[in-house]
Each structure stands twice: as structure tokens, then as C-alpha cells.
Structure 1
Amino acid sequence: MKNIAFRVLALICLLPLANVYAQENYKEKDSKYTYQNEGFYEVKIYSEDQLKFKKHPRNIILLIGDGMGVSQVFSGITANKGKLHLQNMKAIGFAKTQSSSHYITDSAAGGTALSCGKKTYNGAIGVDPDKNPLETILEIAEKNDKATGLVSTSAITHATPASFIAHQPQRNMYEEIAADFLKTDIDVFIGGGETFFKERKDGRDLTNELKGNGYKVFNNLKDAKSTKSGKLAVLTAPEHNEKFSQRGAMLQEATDKSLEILSQDKDGFFLMVEGSQIDWGGHQNNTSYVVGEMLDFDKMIGDVLEFAVKDRETLVIVTADHETGGIALLDSDIAKGFVKAGFATGGHTGVMVPVFAFGPGAQEFMGIYENTAIFDKMLKLFRFKN
């Protein structure tokens, strides 16, 4: 009996660790070196006459393709027979991604550099190298009466989205990160991670607390379809969302829903959207995974650009926190949409990542600079009084 009791107690103690490690299981190798696209899509290319923007942005949409380097971008171009929506973005720069602790950053330090404008150590979420909280662009936008939102194809508590809203010394503190959402006034957030809001060591059910704070809370986008205004939280999976081939148009639908709600704010909005799993395909050395996620990310970019063209006061920025996989494109075929790739690593690399910009202020993002400069440029263009 004592042995049985001990084993049960050990299992209970290990459950939180199981949740933590489950968050990282996307790094398991599943090598595949080719991809043949079967789902080609039309790309709308805007003429110069359509691109008449206001002088300053009222809204900023930051789109982060996690792990997306130049090779990932061109793999998408190759797979869709030479065209991506991304190619409408003519202002192009490059960001250096090194963290304060490592030549090769992780997503936590990379995300914090983008969200807070400060270099920090690998694993840090919204804190400086001394673990002091840093104000994020999302929090500054809130303070200046703008609506705010986060969307991710990972858990919303994962490193990149977390770095825009939470302040924790380590990225694997998922329950603490989830609790940080309750300390903000974010208007919309959509992503996985329901487990960390409901099945917690402290016994709190954060979804009930969110409802008490005026949020409509759902666990799928279909049920949220009729919600047109107000505060919205959609926790689309217990942990991470499924890969591109299984989750459907979740990223587009989540982004469109966020824009529908946030655009009603007369003071404007800040929205960060992450295509998380480009990175995961790189970790797995899986060309099919990388390219499929890249195309899914680009379809969402198409929706965002269409919104920006109509709105005329929206700046769109597309970048990455780092490159993953050290991808080399080999003997591929643009006419057939066929991609063949090789990988230098199953981890991240230290190369610069591209930065694409579109809309009012886009020219600010040309050149080569530190990743922290993206925060500085957004802050400058928003022209906040506080």
C-alpha cells in the first residue's frame, strides 16, 4: 500500500512537469526534406494607386513568423509558384537577433527584444537581465487608450506571445504567465493554452476570473463567431494548436476576428499575431512542415494587407524572432511548386532575419539594425504622449 501511495503522490507531483515538457515536444525530430504543394492560392498584388496611406499610423499590426528566415520566405515563394502576399511589402530591412546572454537567441529573449526594446537573457519573459519588469509595446498602447490584441498558433502562454503581456524570469512558468493576463486590459487574445488557465496548481480558474472582468470566453472560434465587440478570450486548444494541415484556417479566422473587434476603437489599436509553427518545422528538420506553415502565415498576411489598404492608417510589420533550422534550399522547382531543403541544425541560428513593412511609416524599417530597434520604431511612429 505504501508503494502504491508513493507512486500516486509522485504522479501527482509530476503532472505540472508533464505540462511543461509537453510544451516543448515540437522539437522532436521528424525529418522530411521535400514538399510538393497541392494547394496553390491566388495572390493579390496592389498597384501604386491603391497604396495611398495617411502620414502616421493609428494602428500597428506586428506579424511574427517564429523561426522565419529568408530561406523560409523563399520556400513559400517557391511552393506557391513564385508569389506570396508578402511581396506587396516593399520596405525591407534586416534585424540582428543576438540576446544579452547568447549569440543564438531563444524565442523568449527574441520576443522581449521586439516587445520591450531591450536585450535580455535567453528564457526571459518581459524582464531585463536583472529580472526587472520591462514595459511592453502592448502595455504602452493600453496606457494610451488603444485597443490591444494577441493571436498565436501556439499556446498563448508560449514564449513569443507571453513576452508582450507577461513579466516572468523563465519562459516555462506557464501558469504564472497565464495569471499575468489578468493584470492587463488586453481586449482580445486567441490561442492555445487553456490548461494553464483552468487546470492549475493554485486551484484558480482564470477563465471564470476573465468572465468576471467582462470577457466573453470560448474554447473555439466557431462559438465566438457571433461576438462582434467587447473583450474576447478564445483558448483554442488545451496546449498548442494542431499543425497547419489539421487546424484549418484558424490563423486567418483568429486574425480577422481580432481586427473586427479592435478596429472599432476610435483611438486605434496594437495587434501582435504569431505564426508559431514555422519554427517547429525547422526544429524537426521537416520541409513540409516549414513550408506549409509559411504558406498559412502568408494567407493571414493577405487578409491583414487588405485591411491596411482599405484603412489607410494601419502599419503592418512582418518579421521573426530568429531563424530555425539553418535551412538551405536545394534543387527545387518554382513552376511545379516543389521544394527541396537541407538543414544545418535542429535548433536556432544566429543569422539576421528579414523585416517587411507596409503602410504609413514603412520606410522607417529599411536597413540593418538590432531587433530592439523595431520596438523603438513602433513607439516613434505611434507618437504617444505618455
Structure 2
Amino acid sequence: MKKFLLLLSGLLLAAGATAQPAQGEVRNIIYLIGDGMGLSHVSLMKIEKGYAPTAFDRAQNIALITTYSANNRVTDSAAAGTALACGAKTNNGTLGLDAGGNRIESMIARATRDGMATGLVVTYYLQHATPAAFYAHVKHRGETDAITADMLPSGIDVLFGGGRKWLARECAEGGSYLDAFVRRGYRVATALEETADMHRGRVLCAVAEEEAPRAPERGDYLPEASKKAMELLAANTEGKQKGFVLMIEGSFIDSAAHANDTDWLEAEMNDFEKCVAAAMDFADAHPGTLVVVTADHETGGLSVPSGDKDFTRSESGIDYRYGTSSHTGSMVPVYLYGAGAERINGLMDNTELSQRMMELLGLE
């Protein structure tokens, strides 16, 4: 009897160990993309907070990435999103296809095929360039109906964002896309509040006809949706060998920078910072989680000049100046936290960042 109990105890310990990552092993990745976020955008947020600590300061490692596309030194979100999602260059405007028009597989598609759970959380519509780069294969980012058709079979478990008007359209298999998601086992919600009693399983939360409101009018939708997605994905992978990949986008950082609207930009950065903090807190509570925070490109050419050339003065003031209402070719930062943070270093291309993340998950 004693031998049996010892054997049973050993088997239980071994079973428990399969659900726990080995030291340094990456089981989950939370990938946060601040659309249009450059180092100056992070600087603006920190300056306006009086240099108080932010979630970005918790980063355990930092890198830089180049952002050019296959056909342009200044990328758009589709080409950059494809690079960050798939680890391959493509032409501006293209999603999930390489520069030759061949289909390429994103890390979320690879993770799904490998038995991992996956999720997307955005403030813009789910068919927009950055989220679509993780599941769609179209020559032009404006093919919204085709992108919606690609979303349905993607197998992504958790989806939070706008785009309800396209999801309400008729799909080839009958009924609307929303109906088709229900047939595939998703619980469908039209507001974040409706997901309060959803704690596991597949969820599609289409919070707006197109996009959610701008910050601060939308409240804490993005950080709360991010936390709910983490909760769902953690529950869906509890006790399993495989973890999850979750992409969270601060979509409107780009819009505010395009508008050269500093107050709006600050509000969007503060909102995104809450998501970064939530992801890092999750990593602290769930060993094996790597948090990667980066941008697809820089928007606005933002600089932070002194208000006076006389630096002998105790305070010269500062200004926020924009060089353009478009994108720039500047490199953007990468902030890393949690398991494997020390294994992504230095100056690299955006495609290499994606490739390294997939290597850490064994998704090459």
C-alpha cells in the first residue's frame, strides 16, 4: 500500500509538472503593439506624469527594431503588422502575403495549429490592418469583407474589438458571420459588460459597429478587455501543456499622432500603459509568460524640444512638435518582461523580432 501511495504521489507530481513551464521556458506570450508609438510618445507620457514610474519602466530588457517594408522605407500598418505577425516583409497595404503574393503564416496561426490558445484585443475594428495581419491573407488592407471571411476559420479563441457591421453581414455558409461564430462554439457579446459571467471558452465581443470611442471617452475598455482576455486564455489552458498567444493593440495612438493632437495622444498612451501594466502583472502571477511591447512604426515625427536655447537657465520649458501628419521611417522600441526577456536583445528588424518570439514558443 505504501509503495502504491508513493507511486501515485509521483504520478500526480509528474502530471502537475507538465502544466508548469520549466525554468526560463516561454509558455505564453502577450504581445502589445502601440500603433504608431515611437520613443518620443513614451517620453511624452513619462514627462506629463512628472517622471513618475510607469509600466514601461518595469521592462527587464529593451531592444530596437527597424520598420521599413518590402517596397517602401516608410511602412504602413499592414506591411508592418505582417512583419510583426508573420516574420516576413511585404509591400505596403498587403496583409498575410509576402512581396511575391504568396500566403505566409502568422504566429497566431502557427500557435493555433500547434494546439495553443490565441486572442486579439483592439480598440479599432477587428478587420483593421494590425489585427488582420494575424489571420488574413489579402493583397489590399481595404478588402474588409474578404478579411472578415478569413477571420471566421482562423480559430482564434478570444476576439475583442469593433467591426460589428461587417460581422453582421451574410456569410457564404448561411446567416451572418456572427451566426457562424455561434455555430463554431463562440459566445457572442456586443459590450464588454456582457462578458462578465464568461470565464472560459471561445468569446467574440464586437463592441462597436466600427471602432470603439477615442480615449478618454471609452473609459477603461481596452485594459479591462485585455484582462478579460488573459483570464479566458489562462482558464482555457489551465492544466495543459500548451499556453497561449495574445495580441493587444493600442490602435488609436496612431490616430492621435496623425492628427498631431497632443492631449489625445497622451490619453491614448495612458490607456495603453494600463494594458502594459496588466500584462506584466499577469506575467508575475503566471510563470512562463513573456510580455513584448513594441510598435509597428512611428507616426507624427514627434520631437520634444527645449523652449529656450539657453541651457544655463534652471527651466526652459518644453514643447511637443510634429514633423509630419504621416508615418516616419524611425526605429521603434521593444520592451520585454518576464520569461525569456533576456533572450531578445539589441538592434534587429521587425521580422526578426517576430521570428525570435516564434522560436521561443517552438513555432518555427
Residue 340 of structure 1, CA deviation: 3.7
* Cα distance in 2 between the residues matched to 1:72 and 1:377: 25
Runs of 4+ residues over 4 Å off in structure 1: 200-204
Question: How do 1:1-386 residues align onto structure 2 when only pairs under 5 Å count?
Answer: 54-82=23-51, 83-199=53-169, 205-264=176-235, 265=237, 266=240, 267-331=242-306, 340-384=319-363
Contact 1:356 1:365 in 2 (8 A): no
Contact 1:175 1:200 in 2 (8 A): no
With over 3 angstroms needed to count, the CA separation of the structure-2 counterparts of 1:302 and 1:126, relative to structure 1, is: same
Contact 2:122 2:250 in 1 (8 A): yes
Aligned counterpart, 2:3: none
Contact 2:169 2:177 in 1 (8 A): no
Determine helix, strand or coil for the equivalent of 2:192. coil
* Cα distance in 2 between the residues matched to 1:61 and 1:300: 10
* Cα distance in 2 between the residues matched to 1:178 and 1:208: 13
Unaligned 5+ segments in structure 2 are: 1-21, 308-316
With over 3 angstroms needed to count, the CA separation of the structure-2 counterparts of 1:234 and 1:201, relative to structure 1, is: closer
What is the root-mean-square deviation of aligned Cα atoms in Å? 1.8
Code of the residue aligned with 2:272 in structure 1: it is: F
Determine helix, strand or coil for the equivalent of 1:263. helix
How far does the alpha carbon of each residue in 1:244-301 deviate from its partner, in whole angstroms, 9 at most, with x for none?
1111000111101100110121210000000011111110011111111011000111
Code of the residue aligned with 2:36 in structure 1: it is: G
* Cα distance in 1 between the residues matched to 2:357 and 2:181: 29
* Cα distance in 2 between the residues matched to 1:219 and 1:279: 25
Code of the residue aligned with 1:57 in structure 2: it is: V
* Cα distance in 2 between the residues matched to 1:204 and 1:136: 28
How far does the alpha carbon of each residue in 1:52-72 deviate from its partner, in whole angstroms, 9 at most, with x for none?
x93111001100000000000
Unaligned 5+ segments in structure 1 are: 1-52, 333-337
Contact 1:152 1:276 in 2 (8 A): yes
Contact 1:329 1:339 in 2 (8 A): yes
Determine helix, strand or coil for the equivalent of 1:150. strand
* Cα distance in 2 between the residues matched to 1:339 and 1:260: 41
With over 3 angstroms needed to count, the CA separation of the structure-2 counterparts of 1:200 and 1:282, relative to structure 1, is: farther
Code of the residue aligned with 2:196 in structure 1: it is: K
* Cα distance in 1 between the residues matched to 2:170 and 2:99: 28
Determine helix, strand or coil for the equivalent of 1:244. coil
Code of the residue aligned with 1:271 in structure 2: it is: L
Code of the residue aligned with 2:44 in structure 1: it is: S
Aligned counterpart, 1:30: none
* Cα distance in 1 between the residues matched to 2:265 and 2:169: 31
Residue 199 of structure 1, CA deviation: 3.7
Contact 2:160 2:205 in 1 (8 A): yes
Determine helix, strand or coil for the equivalent of 1:246. coil
TM-score with structure 1 length normalisation? Answer: 0.82
Code of the residue aligned with 2:59 in structure 1: it is: M
Determine helix, strand or coil for the equivalent of 2:320. strand
How far does the alpha carbon of each residue in 1:317-376 deviate from its partner, in whole angstroms, 9 at most, with x for none?
0000000000011358xxxxx974110000000000001111111122221111001111
Aligned counterpart, 1:11: none
With over 3 angstroms needed to count, the CA separation of the structure-2 counterparts of 1:238 and 1:374, relative to structure 1, is: same
Code of the residue aligned with 2:246 in structure 1: it is: L
* Cα distance in 1 between the residues matched to 2:274 and 2:347: 27
Residue 148 of structure 1, CA deviation: 0.2
Q: Percent identity?
A: 38
Determine helix, strand or coil for the equivalent of 2:263. helix
TM-score with structure 2 length normalisation? Answer: 0.87
* Cα distance in 1 between the residues matched to 2:267 and 2:306: 18
Code of the residue aligned with 1:351 in structure 2: it is: S
* Cα distance in 2 between the residues matched to 1:326 and 1:263: 38
* Cα distance in 1 between the residues matched to 2:254 and 2:184: 34
Aligned counterpart, 1:23: none
